[in-house]
Chains A and B, each alone.
Chain A
């Protein structure tokens, strides 16, 4: 399967690979997927407590090029956003930006799930209710 140039670029030069301190109160960690399914994404956000803005985002992904690119792109988009703005990131935006073919749409869904999981981890740590359903509007 031929990958789009943007997927190749993210794969070759992944943005924000790394690890944040998962025990820090400011950090939310989302770990989604399963090794036996062939993809696992870990996405982390660090939130500025005063402004409520995501100041750092990191990822590590076990998966195909599209899964790596989807998570790399997600970290780029997350930085500088508020939690509310971050929740608005839709998997179809990732599909469009990376020109993912239909068989790779699940990679973008996984990235969206990882964002939500990271946000919820952060919310729980800070005494807030986890968000069940994402408001897609």
Chain B
């Protein structure tokens, strides 16, 4: 076992992942030696770049069971979400202008929808979620009307890792004659995805969440049954079958392709290993008194755990576990005292949302690091509770809900 731990221990793989050294190796020649523009048709520099992009497109398409012609390269998942949603609304205006999405979506989806609403270009229904983070399929069925052109529900949530029932959602969507898009940023390369088997029409994802480079993503756009089109949101040279202009980021795309191939080969083993480590961490931390798991226990990504440590504030806890790089659902700043909207949507009360920590494990996480993390968190929670007036009141049997708090 690797006995070297690198501090702080990185457990924030839902924010971004380190690049796999094998990916970097594939990319390097494309910065210097093979620097050509993939759109240059008149010389070998361009041909070499185009060949590399074509190869990467195959690698990426294969990972999600798509055809390489269905992959549109973008700058990342945020752009892919924007292109998919705005592009569909613009392309299918004759059919309708209604979008169905969910309250726990990433801001790249929610803010895109709000933008369309504000401009009067779309009407949007935001489905609630249950305490487990899952949408209700009956509510979805009722929300989709003959005006609905797009149902956009994320594959797996970035804060709690909960996986939505994608196949069922796609079935309902198609029965009602709408298109189904999913933001699969957190799921691609982590769990098996097959766009045909699952009935996905558009899928947004990015390289940097799967051990590839930052600044490159893709939008899968179905070509058959049905043939889907999106209106370009960036005008220019008509790259990417006219759906996304701009010179291709060749080294980034090469890295994205290499990352996809590694994920495809290693996903099953990796998921098993990470689930074991995640469960070890989670079970140990949930043994601490008054700790709670956020989100569905099983219908979830294998490498994420979101836990609330009651009576301890998240930001304070993060400072106490400075040897761990994690993130919190608490945002204690004067600009925003609002805790995570995702946790709030699950019905987690504000106090518990402020007490939450997201642990995201990854390819290079070791068991030794997890063991260290367990002890480190336990100790910090204990120390902070000793310092917490809420913990003392809880121990005295005072119901905190009955206290008249002086908000400031």
Q: Are A62 and B319 in contact (CB under 8 A)?
A: no
Q: Are B354 and A14 in contact (CB under 8 A)?
A: no
Give the contact stretch, choosing among B51-59, B147-155, B270-278, B328-336: B328-336
Q: Give the distance in Å from the alpha carbon of A77 to the alpha carbon of B354 in the complex.
A: 29
B387 at the interface (CB under 8 A from A): yes
A41 at the interface (CB under 8 A from B): yes
- What distance in Å separates the Cβ of A34 from its nearest Cβ neighbour in chain B? 4
Q: Are A62 and B390 in contact (CB under 8 A)?
A: yes
Residues of A contacting B351 in the complex (Cβ-Cβ under 8 angstroms): 35-36
Name the residue in B311, B319, B330 with the highest tally of chain A Cβ atoms < 10 Å from its Cβ.
B319
Give the contact stretch, choosing among A78-86, A105-113, A126-134: A105-113
Q: Are B315 and A38 in contact (CB under 8 A)?
A: yes
- What distance in Å separates the Cβ of A64 from its nearest Cβ neighbour in chain B? 4
B118 at the interface (CB under 8 A from A): no
Q: Are B319 and A40 in contact (CB under 8 A)?
A: no
- What distance in Å separates the Cβ of A114 from its nearest Cβ neighbour in chain B? 10
Contact digits for B393-407, partner A, Cβ 8 Å, 1 yes 0 no: 000000010010111
Number of residues on chain B facing chain A (CB within 8 A): 32
Q: Are A38 and B354 in contact (CB under 8 A)?
A: yes
Q: Are B390 and A36 in contact (CB under 8 A)?
A: no
Contact digits for A5-44, partner B, Cβ 8 Å, 1 yes 0 no: 0001001001001010000000000011111111111100
From A7, which residue of chain B is reached at the shortest CB distance?
B319
Number of residues on chain A facing chain B (CB within 8 A): 35
Q: Given A33-B406, A34-B406, A34-B407, are A17 and B390 also a contact pair (CB < 8 Å)?
A: no
Q: Are B332 and A39 in contact (CB under 8 A)?
A: yes
- What distance in Å separates the Cβ of A63 from its nearest Cβ neighbour in chain B? 5
Q: Give the distance in Å from the alpha carbon of A106 to the alpha carbon of B408 in the complex.
A: 8
From A14, which residue of chain B is reached at the shortest CB distance?
B387
B386 at the interface (CB under 8 A from A): yes
Residues of A contacting B339 in the complex (Cβ-Cβ under 8 angstroms): 38
- What distance in Å separates the Cβ of A9 from its nearest Cβ neighbour in chain B? 12
Residues of B contacting A34 in the complex (Cβ-Cβ under 8 angstroms): 405-408
Q: Give the distance in Å from the alpha carbon of A63 to the alpha carbon of B320 in the complex.
A: 12
Contact of A64 among B332, B388, B389, B400 (CB under 8 A): B332
Q: Give the distance in Å from the alpha carbon of A8 to the alpha carbon of B316 in the complex.
A: 11
Q: Given A33-B406, A64-B316, are A38 and B330 also a contact pair (CB < 8 Å)?
A: yes
Q: Are B386 and A36 in contact (CB under 8 A)?
A: no
Residues of B contacting A38 in the complex (Cβ-Cβ under 8 angstroms): 313-315, 330, 332, 337, 339, 350, 354
Residues of A contacting B387 in the complex (Cβ-Cβ under 8 angstroms): 14, 17, 60-61, 68
Residues of B contacting A11 in the complex (Cβ-Cβ under 8 angstroms): 316, 319-320
B122 at the interface (CB under 8 A from A): no
Q: Which 3 A-B pairs have the closest CB atoms?
A: A36-B350, A34-B405, A35-B351
> A residues bordering B, Cβ < 8 Å?
3, 8, 11, 14, 17, 19, 31-42, 60-65, 67-68, 102-106, 109-110, 113, 117
17 A–B contacts, CB within 8 A, in A order: A8-B319, A11-B320, A33-B408, A35-B351, A37-B350, A37-B407, A38-B313, A38-B332, A40-B405, A60-B388, A60-B392, A61-B387, A62-B313, A62-B389, A62-B390, A63-B332, A104-B333
